[in-house]
Amino acid sequence: MGILNVTPDSFSDGNAYFDPSRAVERALEMQAEGADIIDIGGESTRPFAPPVDADEELRRVVPVVEALAGRLSIPISVDTYKAVVARAALNAGAEIVNDISGLTFDAEMAATVAETGAGLVVMHTRGTPESMQLSTGYGDIVTEVIAFLGDSLSIAQSAGIIAERVVVDPGIGFGKSKGGNLEILRRIRELATLGRPVLLGTSRKAFIGRVLGREVDERLFGTAATVALGVAEGASIFRVHDVKAMRDVADMAHAIAYPAD
């Protein structure tokens, strides 16, 4: 899953693809590099990021989705927790909703996904991006993440969303400490109890920088380690900035871990 942030303030590539024409160019480039999905986001959800109102998010996202819908041969995902943005993006040609709140921030989101027949990613978080890093302590982090995601799957089921359309994401970097993120990565296989494919979003994140002492633009190899481990531990989708490099990492790790495939 290639990351396309059409924002001025994302933690890694803020403002790089804020211009719609540059965003379209980057999406096509990521497809050529081996992306299977393009994930378009119009609101930064980095720690302590202020919220963006729906009208502004729509202005950022919808024109890019419209421009890409007829040009990409792979699905478009919209990274939003707002039902109105999700519906507009889906109407413009997106096929997947990537909701960082696991259907908990907007009561209309589950119905929107069900009505449109979209794919869905439900992610674990604790609090909003503005506040999530103020509370990173857990009793058993993986158990709590699994319980939260189980509740998200129940919300989806109650709304009529087909289970096979849903993917779970443990929310690396969202309301977690460095140690918490590492613990989740050690125990990815436990998420299999949810019965759904697992998405990991570790790309360039701060915990990698803290472990290695690297700035955001120096975290390629740290990210690669998390992707390779994730493949070996059973994760299915990897949300990344550096598509070409991580495609090779994932394919090589898969060849080693799953020789029968």
Give tens-digit pLDDT for 213-239.
999 999 999 999 999 999 999 999 999
Does residue 14 belong to any structural domain of this protein?
yes
- Give pairs for 29-34: CB < 8 Å, separation 24+: 30/2, 30/4, 30/243, 31/2, 31/72, 31/73, 31/74, 33/2, 33/243, 33/244, 33/247, 34/243, 34/244, 34/247
pLDDT at res. 225: 98
258 part of a folded domain = no
The answer as to whether 69 is a domain residue is: yes
Q: What digits encode the pLDDT tens for the residues 37-70?
A: 999 999 988 888 888 999 999 999 999 999 999 8
Provide the whole-model pTM.
0.94
Which CATH number characterizes residue 210's domain? 3.20.20.20
Q: Helices 20-33 & 54-69, crossing angle to 10 degrees?
A: 50
Report yes or no on 180 lying in a domain: yes
Please tell me the predicted confidence (pLDDT) of residue 51.
Answer: 87
Does residue 260 lie in a domain region? no
Residue at token pair 């009529």: 160
Residue 17's pLDDT band, with cuts at 50, 70 and 90, is low
Q: What is the pLDDT of residue 16?
A: 61
**Total domains, the chain:** 1
Average pLDDT of span 127-154:
92
Residue 191 has pLDDT above 70, yes or no: yes
Residue with more model confidence, 46 or 141? 141
- Phi, then psi, of 124 in degrees rounded to 5: -85, 135
Domain that holds residue 7: 2-253
Q: Give catalytic residue positions.
A: 205, 239
Specify if 214 maps to a domain: yes
Digit-coded pLDDT (tens) for 157-181 = 999 999 999 999 999 999 999 999 9
Given this model, what pLDDT does residue 9 score? 61
- Assess if residue 259 is contained within a domain: no
Q: What is the mean pLDDT of the chain?
A: 94
Q: Give pLDDT, residue 244.
A: 98
CB 4 within 8 A of CB 27: yes
